Amino acid sequence: MSDHTQVKMTEMNYGKDRPKAENPVKVEDLSLRDGHQSLFATRGRTEDMIPVAELMDEVGFWAVETWGGATFDTMHRFLNEDPWERIRTLKRYFKKTPFSMLLRAQNLVGYRNYADDLAKSFVDRSCENGMDIFRTFDALNDYRNFETVVERIKANGKHFQGCICYTMTEPRMGGEVYNIDYYVNKAKALEEMGADTICIKDMAGLCAPYDAYQIVKALKETCKAPIHLHSHFTSGMSPMTHLKAIEAGVDIIDTCMSPYAYRTSHAAIEPLVMTLLGTNRDTGFDITLLGQINEILEREVMPKYAHLLDDSKMSTIDINVLLHQTPGGMLSNLVNQLREMDALEKIGDVYRELPRVRKELGQIPLVTPTSQIVGIQTVNNVLFDDEKERYKMITAQVRDLCYGLYGKTAVPIDSEVQKKALKGYKRGEEPITCRPAEVLDPELEKAKEEIGGLAKDIDDVITYALYPVTGKRFLKWKYGHEDVPPEVMPRTLTQVKKEQDLIKKAKAGLLEEKKEKEVPEKSENVRTFNVFVDDEYFEVGVDELGESPIISYIQQLGQMPAQSVQMMQPVQTPKPSAKAKPAATVVPPPPKSAAPATSGSPTSPKPAAAVAAAPAAPVTSTAEGTPLKAPMPGMIISFEKKVGDAVNQGETVVILEAMKMENALPSPASGTLKAINYKSGDSVAKNDILCIIG
Ligand code: CO
């Protein structure tokens, strides 16, 4: 029997009073950040963390991860929650256990490198609000991107955990780039920077058990700092990987409470506790306490999120990760994007193109944001390239990457791709080799000026500086300048119960099924009406065929469709007007001859207050000229030109954000910009006419 399996049967019990192990494995719980980020798109609300917070504080976790990663983005964008407030609220319940956050180094909690002044202020404010441990990573493992934030973490007397993003190009660790020497050298570099702990960040669940053994063993021999393993379950290997890492002497392991565990999340804590019980690495955790926490989560919390779980597959593991060495979340994003563009059949092409694009872009690790950068560019290549030309539509982020704005890539970027990406690039056509933030202008003061009185404190300013469009919208909700749309409101257990009853009824055959009629094709004459009945709102399309108009479609818009929560873009759903009379109110669309609105919603002119929050409906009327249509669904970031401006064919007119990547859309013709149909922050569907060039 090895040391690890010496179970002292006589002294073994489940409780906390069992003898302390010689070298207990320390555990960080990720349920409140990575757990719900992995399983239900980071939609976990603070109010649903509170019921278990005090009990979790009793477990004896080394740390609980409560913040960072995608939480900041999701909270202010989709949950109407102030991200800063979450730290302060949870701190009132967790009195003993340190808080850990995932910090994307110079990317902070966003998707690009921010300027040094903003990065410093962000870290200072995170410390001030209650953050203790900063798990810091850079998507390119370029530690020059750590310099600014680490200086502030240390200055505030907090814990700097340095990450090495684990990635590979072969089916197992090895090859020319990501071999054992790579990881050992990265760990040495982190220790030199003053890392208090070193984390192997296996975000895709790629780290095989025996590779983990080899790395942990090597790092334990090289480094003094404790070694931490973060390995997602996605591929199904992580519980085995954990065990081999523990045998190799890993100090800290990441797990989730079982309702937040497995699939693309992490292995559960309970089986690990039982596995190590009575060994020299026993966690010492009270398994009955863990059971209590699980019961509350199952009963009071999980029902509110069950609708967000991806139950489309029976399989709890994603073997695509084993086949393609790419993160599970990235693949599901790609699938979502292809589906939105009616091109799901091209997924095979995407799998083939992906390793090629990754190699051309410097064989970079695939983790936020590089997974999106490589993923979206791959989709663009598959959808828009032809035999004569590759990289026809290059995202703004790929241009930034080629310029060196994310840092140094593992191998040099393909020179032809780089040259093409940097043609006409705003910062210059010659790539930089310095630390990226050195070329960034300070941005905090500018943000302060722009947001003005809408920001009441520095935390508000940072929210806006990180997320100008959605951050500003959130501040308007926060201070009552704009009504909070219903889709960002929390679900209650009562609502959930109502839905479940309805499903039960349906299953028992007590609900009558409506006969589906065949829907005729919409003609060009279709006119849309907004119809308000009680609290419900419908968009009605009326299609004139011959003499009498027929209603061609009715789309209920009162509720957010279930699948849209998976989308990256905020979904704009109209709010039923409080003034709407029980009787149907029909709001006619603008007459066809009317010139398109030059700004604002395309549904303007707005004849009634009721349509003020109407969605960006497809534009059917156009001015004379060539339309620039949205090649993909997304959110308008900005128009680079004003109405009346002269534009050349190929010149960038619109910046459209799709799947968090910015796409510069070129003008389809030369002429004058005649009309702009949307404004910054509007969501658009594929083929919506964004503007007219005449
Ligand atoms: Co993770």
pLDDT at res. 544: 61
Of 174, 176, 240, 164, nearest to 202 by C-alpha is: 164
Q: Which of 265, 285, 308 is the last residue of a domain?
A: 308
Distance from residue 34's CA to the centre of ligand 1 (Å): 6
- Give the CA diameter of the chain: 90
- The winner for highest mean pLDDT among 108-117, 335-344, 455-464, 612-621 is 455-464
- Ligand 1 midpoint to CA 3 (Å): 30
Checking if the pLDDT of 511 tops 90, the result is: no
Is 609's pLDDT higher than 60? no
- Does 555 share its domain with 642? no
421 and 298 housed in the same domain: no
Question: Is position 294 within any domain?
Answer: yes
Do both 154 and 286 map to the same domain? yes
Q: Please tell me whether residues 364 and 432 are part of one structural domain.
A: yes
Answer yes or no: is pLDDT of 499 > 80: yes
Instruction: Tell me the C-alpha distance between 415 and 251, whole Å.
Output: 42
| 70 CA from centroid of ligand 1 (Å) | 10
User: 3-state class of 659 per DSSP?
Assistant: coil
Distance 30 CA to ligand 1 centre (A): 8
Place 382 in a pLDDT band, splitting at 50, 70 and 90: very high
> What radius of gyration do the chain's Cα atoms show?
27
Q: Is 132 helix (H, G, I), strand (E, B) or coil?
A: coil
For 35-83, the DSSP string reads IHHHHSTT---GGGTHHHHHHHHHH--SEEEEEETTHHHHIIIII---H
Give me ligand 1 centre to Cα 368, in Å: 10
Over residues 261-266, the mean pLDDT reads 94
Please give the distance, rounded to the nearest whole angstrom, from the Cα atom of residue 679 to the centre of ligand 1: 35
- Which token pair is 446? 């500018």
Per-residue pLDDT at 533: 65
* Pairwise CA distance, residues 603 & 156, whole Å: 51
- Report the range out of 239-253, 543-557, 647-661 with the highest average pLDDT: 239-253
Six-digit token string for 299: 């009963």
Residue 155 lies in a domain: yes
- pLDDT cut 90: percent of the chain above it: 62
536 and 576 Cβ atoms separated by less than 8 Å: yes
With respect to residue 364, please indicate whether it lies within any of the assigned structural domains. yes
> What pLDDT does residue 616 have?
43
Confidence band (pLDDT; 50, 70, 90) for 565? very low
Q: Can the peptide bond before residue 369 be classed as cis, meaning omega within 30 degrees of 0? A: yes
**Ligand 1 centroid, distance to 642 Cα (angstroms):** 42
Q: How far is the CA of 500 from the centre of ligand 1 (A)?
A: 32
pLDDT at 601: 35
For residue 615, how far is its CA from the centre of ligand 1 (angstroms)?
Answer: 35
pLDDT bracket for residue 423 (50, 70, 90): very high
Q: What is the pLDDT of residue 90?
A: 98
Domain closes at, from 439, 457, 480: 439
Task: Say if residue 242 is in the same domain as residue 325.
Answer: no
Shared domain for 370 and 428, answered yes or no, is yes
pLDDT at 198 over 80: yes
Indicate if 181 and 73 belong to the same structural domain: yes
Instruction: State residue 545's pLDDT score.
Output: 58
- Encoded tokens for 572: 């704009």
Q: For position 590, what pLDDT does the model report?
A: 39
Least confident of 127-131, 206-210, 249-253, 500-504: 500-504
> Can you tell me whether residue 527 is helix, strand or coil?
strand
Q: State the DSSP code for 297.
A: I
- Ligand 1 centre and the CA of 490: distance in Å? 25
pLDDT given for residue 13 in this prediction: 63
Average pLDDT over residues 465-470: 96
Separation of CA 174 and ligand 1 centre (Å): 22
Q: How confident is the model at residue 6 (pLDDT cuts 50, 70, 90)?
A: low
266 Cα to the center of ligand 1, angstroms: 8
**Domain co-membership, 251 together with 111:** yes
Whether 1 shows a pLDDT value over 80: the answer reads: no
What band does 73 get if pLDDT is binned at 50, 70 and 90? very high
Tell me, yes or no, whether 387 lies in a domain: yes
pLDDT band at 40 (very low <50, low <70, confident <90, very high): confident
Sign of the dihedral defined by the CA atoms of residues 98, 99, 103, 105, in that order: negative
Instruction: Answer yes or no: do 342 and 368 share one domain.
Output: yes
- Is residue 407 within 8 Å of residue 388, measured between CB atoms? no
- What average pLDDT does range 340-369 have in this prediction? 91
Cα of 370 to ligand 1 centre, how many Å?
Answer: 14
Per-residue pLDDT for 593 more than 50?
Answer: no
Q: How far is the CA of 595 from the centre of ligand 1 (A)?
A: 50
| Pair 263, 401 in one domain | no
- Cα 258 to middle of ligand 1, angstroms: 16
Q: What is the pLDDT of residue 582?
A: 36
> Is the same domain home to 282 and 394?
no
How far is the centre of ligand 1, averaged over its atoms, from the C-alpha of 99 (Å)?
16
Has residue 634 got a pLDDT over 80?
A: yes
Å from CA of 230 to ligand 1 middle: 7
* 195 CA from centroid of ligand 1 (Å): 19
Q: How far is the CA of 313 from the centre of ligand 1 (A)?
A: 21
Residue 435 sits in a domain whose CATH number is 1.10.472.90
What pTM was computed for the model?
Answer: 0.76
CA distance 106 to 145: 5
* CB contact at 8 A, 229 and 200: yes
What distance in angstroms lies between residue 506's CA and the mean position of ligand 1's atoms?
38
Residue 14 lies in a domain: no
Q: In 209-222, which positions are buried (b, 16+ CB within 10 angstroms) versus exposed (e)?
A: bebbbbbbbbbbeb
Distance (Å) from CA 64 to ligand 1 centroid: 13
CATH of the domain at 633: 2.40.50.100
Q: How many A from CA of 37 to the centre of ligand 1?
A: 8
**Dist. CA 14 → ligand 1 center (Å):** 29
Give the range with max mean pLDDT: 101-105, 321-325, 571-575: 101-105
Residue 522 has pLDDT above 90, yes or no: no
Q: Please tell me the distance between residue 208's alpha carbon and the centre of ligand 1 in angstroms.
A: 16
Query: What is the average per-residue pLDDT within 507-533?
Result: 70
Between the CA of 233 and the centroid of ligand 1 the distance, in Å, is 10
Q: Answer whether residue 607 shows pLDDT above 80.
A: no
Contacts of 551 (CB under 8 A, 6+ apart): 540, 541, 542, 543
Residue 619 has pLDDT above 70, yes or no: no
Q: What does the block give as tokens for 627?
A: 């339309």
Which pLDDT score is estimated for 470?
95
Q: Looking at residue 19, what is its pLDDT?
A: 87
d(CA 229, CA 253): 5
Measured in Å, residue 636 CA sits from the centre of ligand 1 at 29
Structural domain ending residue among the three candidates 386, 405, 439: 439
Look over the chain and give the mean of its residue pLDDT values, rounded to a whole number: 85
**Helical packing angle, 116-129 and 444-451, nearest 10°:** 70
Average pLDDT over residues 428-435: 96
How confident is the model over 201-233, as pLDDT tens digits? Answer: 999 899 999 999 999 999 999 999 999 999 999
Q: Is residue 39 part of a domain?
A: yes
Is residue 513 included in any domain, yes or no? Answer: no
Report the pLDDT value the prediction gives residue 623, as an integer from 0 to 100.
66
pLDDT at residue 319 is higher than 70: yes
Give the residue-averaged pLDDT of 596-611: 35
**Residue for token pair 């393909």:** 414
Stretch 492-511: mean pLDDT: 83
Q: Kindly give the residue spans of alpha helices, DSSP state H, lying in 405-560.
A: 415-421, 444-451, 458-466, 468-478, 493-507
**Residue 558: is it exposed, middle or buried by C-beta count within 10 angstroms (0-12/13-18/19+)?**
middle
Question: Ligand 1 centre from 301 Cα, in Å?
Answer: 22
pLDDT at 514: 61
Ligand 1 mean position, distance from CA 664 (Å): 30
589, part of any domain: no
Q: How confident is the model at residue 520 (pLDDT cuts 50, 70, 90)?
A: low
Q: Of 22, 32, 170, nearest to 90 (Cα)? A: 32
CATH of the domain at 250: 3.20.20.70
pLDDT at 9: 47
pLDDT band at 584 (very low <50, low <70, confident <90, very high): very low
- Judgement on whether residues 638 and 558 belong to the same structural domain of the protein: no
Q: For residue 376, what are the domain limits?
A: 321-439
**Interval 137-158 mean pLDDT:** 97
Number of domains observed in the structure of the chain: 4
